[in-house]
Amino acid sequence: MDEKDLGNDLAKVLIPEADLQAKVRELAAQIDADYEGRDLLLVGVLKGAVMIMADLARALHTPASMDWMAVSSYGSGTKSSGVVRILKDLDTDIIDRHVLIVEDIVDSGLTLSWLVSNLRSRGPASLEICALLRKPEAVKTDLDVRYIGFDIPNEFVIGYGLDYAEKYRNLPFVGTLAPHVYGGGGS
Ligand code: XMP
Ligand code: MG
């Protein structure tokens, strides 16, 4: 899927494909340096993290296993509440493992805060977070995100794993939607 397939649904491309790919390589290089000689377990948060997970994992030289969690945060509309339910748990026992959570985006940080305390209670050797995108709200929380791709404005974004009503995940770039798509004002 690319820009042309979106017609007038796309407002703008926020992060082009080439910038995403360059950033993923940068993040992988940092992670390689930090985890040298260790056995890494990447934990992707479904479904938004599929693209960053797939690209990051292939860019790493460090041997890495991959596992997945799916969580849903209760909340009204697009705001998360911090009350999280596990829809799919890990298949892996993470005790004494070096775990790196891979996320698409940190907004309020409530989902990740919950996930960190949940995983920490399972006794990993280490636990860090890699998030592709961070919104301004997240900067205010005390969530410690070790690896960050891009700080973005407080706009709803789609593409490269991120969806609106389950659509647009398969765009190779990150963009914003035209207001008419989500019932906002304008044409
Ligand atoms: P919190 O607020 O808990 O939320 O940090 C993180 C989760 O909220 C979703 N989210 C978005 N999804 N475009 C999306 O497609 C966005 O702009 C956006 N902002 C937050 C996302 O699922 C993330 O894991
Ligand atoms: Mg998500």
Structure tokens at 21: 């790919």
Q: Is the pTM for the entire model greater than 0.80?
A: yes
Handedness of CA 12, 45, 134, 57 (dihedral sign): negative
* Number of the ligand 1 atom closest to the C-alpha atom of 49: 24
| Cα separation, 96 vs 138, whole angstroms | 29
Residues 55-89 have pLDDT tens digits of 999 999 999 999 999 998 876 556 666 788 999 99
pLDDT at 138: 85
Which residue has the CA at smallest separation from atom 24 of ligand 1?
105
Question: HSE of 118 in the Cβ direction (CA atoms, 13 Å)?
Answer: 18
Residues designated catalytic = 107
Ligand nearest the Cα atom of residue 83: 1
- What's the rounded Cα separation, in Å, for the pair 101 and 98? 10
Q: Which residue's C-alpha comes closest to atom 21 of ligand 1? A: 105
Closest residue by Cα to residue 40 from 74, 8, 66, 19: 66
Within-domain flag for 4: no
Instruction: Give the model confidence (pLDDT) of 122-146 as tens digits.
Output: 999 999 999 999 999 888 888 999 9
Determine, yes or no, domain membership for 21: yes
Domain that holds residue 70: 17-153
For this complex, say whether ipTM is above 0.90. yes
Residue 172 domain-assigned (yes or no): no
Asked whether residue 169 is assigned to any structural domain, the reply reads no
| C-beta of 150 in contact with ligand 1 (< 6 A) | no
- Distances in whole angstroms, Cα of residue 155 to Cα of each of 10, 21, 105, 168: 13, 21, 12, 16
Q: Is the CB of 128 under 6 A from ligand 1?
A: no
CATH code for position 149: 3.40.50.2020
CA of 133 to the centre of ligand 2 (A): 11
Confidence check: pLDDT of 51 > 90: yes
Q: State the helix-helix crossing angle for 50-59 and 17-34, rounded to 10 degrees.
A: 60
CA distances from 82 to 7, 36, 117 (A): 35, 34, 12
Q: Is 46 part of a structural domain of the chain? A: yes
Work out the mean pLDDT of the chain and round it to a whole number: 93
Q: Closest Cα to residue 55, out of 158, 126, 107, 132?
A: 132
User: Cis omega before residue 47 (within 30°)?
Assistant: yes
| Residue 156 Cβ contacting ligand 1 at under 6 Å | yes
Residue 171 pLDDT > 90: yes
Residue 106 lies in a domain: yes
Residue 134 within a domain = yes
Domain count, the chain: 1
Closest CA to 9 of 127, 167, 170: 167
Give yes or no for residue 187 having a pLDDT over 70: no
Please indicate, yes or no, if residue 144 is contained in any of the structural domains.
Answer: yes
Q: Is the minimum distance from the CB of 110 to ligand 1 under 6 angstroms?
A: yes
